[in-house]
Structures are given as structure tokens and as C-alpha cells.
Amino acid sequence: MPLSAARLAALAAVLVAITLVVMAAALALGSAGWDVEMIRTLRAPRVAAAAGVGALLALSGLAMQSLLRNPLADPYVLGTSGGAAVGALLALMLGLTLAAGAAAGALAAGGLLLWLARRALATTDDASPRLILAGAMLAALFGAMASLLLALTPDQRLRGAIFWLVGDLSGASDGGVSLGAAAAFAAWFIWRERALDRLLLGSVAAHLLGEPVRRLRFELLLGASLAAALAVASAGAIGFVGLVIPHALRLCGVQRTRDLALLAPVGGSALVVAADLLARTVAQPIELPVGAVMALVGAPVFVWFLARGGR
């Protein structure tokens, strides 16, 4: 049952407060303490990048779940992030732009997934469990391709490539771009909220209500792929954010597309900033890959969702 306006506002206030506290902790904590220059030049850009990446991944997961009508859909689980990672690694090897390679890889993975899912999406109101299996196989395929590319990477760049592949925010500095892209994607969700809510009723119902189902699916795929591509280009393949955040919000009673589009980026930002904070501080002076820390949280949650039958 959807939340009332008062409870929704209270949930939003709590979520924003948690996000602000996590960001403040990420700015304050570190080996150099309250060094103003360190905060300005290193921590603040990194926190902004982490927030932007988290917002993009949460919205990408929301788009995938709306597209496939399956709460277990996620750009990492369904191979979109893996495709973006392979595209980015190929771009690095060929001397091309990292963001362009990641976008091409994510779009290729998303298009392949949509092609594999075309019959299930056209013939049933419930997304087939085969879609999750197909996505898992795509993720495994792209993971193998990434491993082969790493084997061809020169030794002096190998460690950095591995860190980036499993998620690394140490060199991320384009937080403004990521946050701006997340804001634009959230605005698109709000603009198309009626059509998306109808799509969640099923393809037949949405078509009978006058919605252009094919075009809407294409827009969702394009937006999810580009959001995942930009996130991967900024910080590597950080998984499970797009799965955990929208599902957690639904468990709290948030159902409408507009509300999810507003709250999911906030929750995604808080989660990735918190994971990055743990990666920086839990084993000082060693810095852990933020993607590995995120997987330690996301994988058990994913197993729990599966144990509940994906409801």
C-alpha cells in the first residue's frame, strides 16, 4: 500500500538527513583529519563523484526494473555494467575516450538483453525468470571478456585496471557531470511518470491505455544504459546499488514512479558514499576497492531477495 503524503515526507526527510550525515563523515574522516586543503582538493570532489555515481546507478536500476517489471533487475546483475566495463577497457587499449567506450559497451549489453527478452516482454505481463538468468549469463560473459583484456594489459597499468574494474573512486573528479546527469534522468522519470506507472500494469494494459510501449521501453533501455555507462566511466563497475535502493524503497511503501525517482538518487548517493568511506578508512593506510565493499553488502541482500521469491 502506498505511503501517505505525511509518511512519505517523513521518509524523505530521514533519507536526506542520513545522506548529509554520511557525506559530512566522508569529508571529515581521513588520515589527514580536518585538513581544509585536503577536504577541498581531494575529499570533496571524491564525495561528489561517489554521490553522482550512486544516484546514476540507483536510477539505472529503477529503469531496468520498470523495463523488465522485475524487482531483481539491475545493471550489474543483468550485465549492463559489465558491458560498460568491457567497452571502457577496449577504449583504454585503443586510446579512445573512456566515457565513449563505456557508453558503447553498456548500450550493446542493453540491446542484447532486450533482444533476448523480446518474446517474454511481448507475450506476458510478468517478466520471465529467464530474463534474470540471461542477464546473469551476459554478466559472466562480459566478466570473462574483461579478464582476457586484463591479461593483455601491461604490467605497469594492471593494478590500476583491476582496481578500476571492481570499482575505484580514487581518481574520480567529475561529480558535477554525474550529479547533473542524474538530475536530468530523474526529471525524465517525473515527466514520464504516468506512462511508466501504466507500463507497470503490463504491456497489454499500457497499450490499451494509449501508451507507446515500444518507444517507452527504448527510452528506458537508453536511459539505463547511458546512466550505467557514465557511472562505470567515473568509478568502474560498482554493483548492486541499482538493486538494493529501489527495492528497499518499495519495501518501505514507496510505490509511485515520481516518488521513487526522487528518493532513489538520494539513497544511492548515501550508499555509495558510505561504501567509499569504509573502503578508505577500514584498513588504513590501505585503500580497498569500493566495488568490493559494495558487493559485501549487495550480494547478501540479493540472496535474501531471491530467498523471498523475488517478491
Which pLDDT tens digit goes with each residue over 6-60? 888 888 898 889 889 988 888 887 665 666 777 777 788 888 888 999 999 999 9
Q: Taking the CA atoms of the chain, what radius of gyration do you get in angstroms?
A: 19
Confidence of residue 310 (pLDDT cuts 50, 70, 90): very low
Q: What is the DSSP letter of 237?
A: -
Domains and CATH numbers, the chain: 5-307 (1.10.3470.10)
Confidence of residue 263 (pLDDT cuts 50, 70, 90): very high
Q: CA-to-CA distance for 301 and 231, rounded, in angstroms?
A: 21
Q: CA-to-CA distance for 39 and 28, rounded, in angstroms?
A: 8
Share of the chain above pLDDT 70, in %: 86
Sign of the C-alpha dihedral computed for residues 174, 177, 183 and 186 taken in this order = negative
Overall size of the chain counted in residues: 311
pLDDT digit string (tens) for 190-227? 998 888 888 877 777 777 777 777 788 788 888 888 88
| Cβ-contact 49, 178 below 8 angstroms | yes
> Average pLDDT, whole number, for the chain?
79
pLDDT for residue 187 is more than 90: yes
pLDDT for residue 124 is more than 50: no
End-to-end CA separation in angstroms for the chain: 14
| Cβ-contact 61, 272 below 8 angstroms | no
Share of the chain above pLDDT 90, in %: 12
Q: How far is CA 164 from the centre of its chain?
A: 16
| Cβ-contact 47, 61 below 8 angstroms | no
Say which residue the cell 604490467 belongs to.
155
CA distances from 115 to 59, 134, 282 (A): 22, 11, 42
- Other C-beta atoms within 10 Å of 27: how many? 18
Q: How many helices (H) and strands (E) does the chain have?
A: 15, 0
Say which residue the cell 559497451 belongs to.
105
- Other C-beta atoms within 10 Å of 164: how many? 26
| Cβ-contact 277, 246 below 8 angstroms | no
pLDDT for residue 248 is more than 80: yes
Range 64-68 average pLDDT: 82
Confidence of residue 184 (pLDDT cuts 50, 70, 90): very high
Return the pLDDT at 128: 54
| Cβ-contact 199, 205 below 8 angstroms | no
Confidence of residue 238 (pLDDT cuts 50, 70, 90): confident
pLDDT digit string (tens) for 143-176? 888 888 888 777 766 666 676 677 777 767 677 8
Q: CA-to-CA distance for 61 and 73, rounded, in angstroms?
A: 7
pLDDT for residue 311 is more than 60: no
Q: CA-to-CA distance for 47 and 28, rounded, in angstroms?
A: 11
| Cβ-contact 297, 275 below 8 angstroms | yes
Range 97-113 average pLDDT: 78
| Cβ-contact 228, 106 below 8 angstroms | yes
pLDDT for residue 294 is more than 60: yes
